[in-house]
Amino acid sequence: MKNNYLLIVVILSNFIFGQNKQFLYEYRFISDSTNKTDIKTEIMILNIQKDRSEYYSSIRYSIDSTMSVAIKKGIFAPASDKKTVNDRVIKYPNSNQIVYTTFIMFDIYKVKQDVELNWKLTNEFSKILNYDVQKATTEFGGRKWTAWFTKDIPIQDGPYKFKGLPGLILKIEDSTKSHIWELKGIRSNQKEFVYPDLKNYRIIELNHNQFIKKFKNYRQNPTADLVGQIPDQHDSTGKFRTSAEIIKELNQMALEKLAKDNNLIEIDLLK
């Protein structure tokens, strides 16, 4: 029995430290609460390294990797207009601090934030991908969440900003089922992971309170940062348009788009 226990410890140690792991989650989400039949799906990756984990969209990573290669070769690489999840989250072992990265208009915002979740473990158990999982609940971002974690993978992490359970989160969803992550696969990554460094975006670093203020201002006036950046010009038909007219039109288009993006993960950001 003792030898079996030591064997399990060795296997788990090899799993955690022997090589880097990528956990692939299917993320299903409803962006517009007034159109709940429009369910979007994207594969998100939780990349576990020895000193950190990184969460990001597989599609966004592919786009950024392609752009990074082109930039290094001196080739013009226009920004992709493909709709993807732009959120990236870096977490660190034994720390409540995370680094959250996202786009606002044409800039990348890097936000340092302390996240400490108050989990309540239940006596409910199930299976996901043949792993024994246990149910836990918490509240975060203005929503109630239910998670299923496994002690068979002793990594206190999960998708997005979720972490802190005594095992990897294999599935998590909010009470309205607007946001659901579920593990679909695991793969090894032999190389040290470095996310592509894109040189063609401005990076703005903020603390969480500063970001909340910026985010709320953006939702009210999306094109505020464009004032003074767009010159008066003639359009494709030859009609003369002032900078103010162009920005007003862009602002209206952005507001209409944001109105359909009303069901955020952290819904309290809209309060």
Same domain, 15 and 50: yes
Same domain, 174 and 265: no
| 86 phi/psi in degrees, rounded to 5 | -95, -5
pLDDT, residue 164, reads 97
Same domain, 110 and 219: no
**Residue 234 is assigned to a structural domain of this protein:** yes
pLDDT, residue 78, reads 62
CATH number assigned to the domain comprising residue 114: 2.50.20
For residue 81, give the amino acid letter.
D
pLDDT, residue 91, reads 97
pLDDT, residue 234, reads 87
How many alpha carbons fall within 13 Å on the CB side of residue 227? 4
Confidence category of residue 238, pLDDT binned at 50, 70, 90: confident
Same domain, 42 and 158: yes
- Look up residue 196 and give its two tokens: 């592509």
Would strands 107-114 and 202-207 be described as parallel, antiparallel, or unpaired? parallel
Confidence category of residue 5, pLDDT binned at 50, 70, 90: very low
Same domain, 263 and 216: yes
pLDDT, residue 3, reads 40
pLDDT digits (tens, 9 = 90+) for 187-212: 987 777 888 877 778 899 999 999 99
Mean pLDDT of all residues in 248-254: 93
Same domain, 55 and 6: yes
Same domain, 168 and 86: yes
CA distance 271 to 268: 5
* pLDDT tops 80 at residue 82: no
**Residue 200 is assigned to a structural domain of this protein:** no
Same domain, 18 and 115: yes
**Residue 196 is assigned to a structural domain of this protein:** no
* pLDDT tops 70 at residue 254: yes
Nearest to 168 by CA among 189, 183, 190, 153: 153
Confidence category of residue 76, pLDDT binned at 50, 70, 90: low
Mean pLDDT of all residues in 78-104: 89
The residue out of 189, 204, 235 marking a domain boundary is 189
Kindly report the average pLDDT of the chain as a whole number.
89
Domains: count for the chain: 2
* pLDDT tops 70 at residue 4: no
Name the residue range of residue 260's domain: 212-270
**Residue 202 is assigned to a structural domain of this protein:** no
Residues of the chain with pLDDT > 90, as a percent, come to: 70
Mean pLDDT of all residues in 82-98: 93
pLDDT digits (tens, 9 = 90+) for 22-54: 999 999 999 999 999 999 999 999 999 989 999
Same domain, 89 and 219: no
Confidence category of residue 55, pLDDT binned at 50, 70, 90: very high
User: In residues, how long is the chain?
Assistant: 271
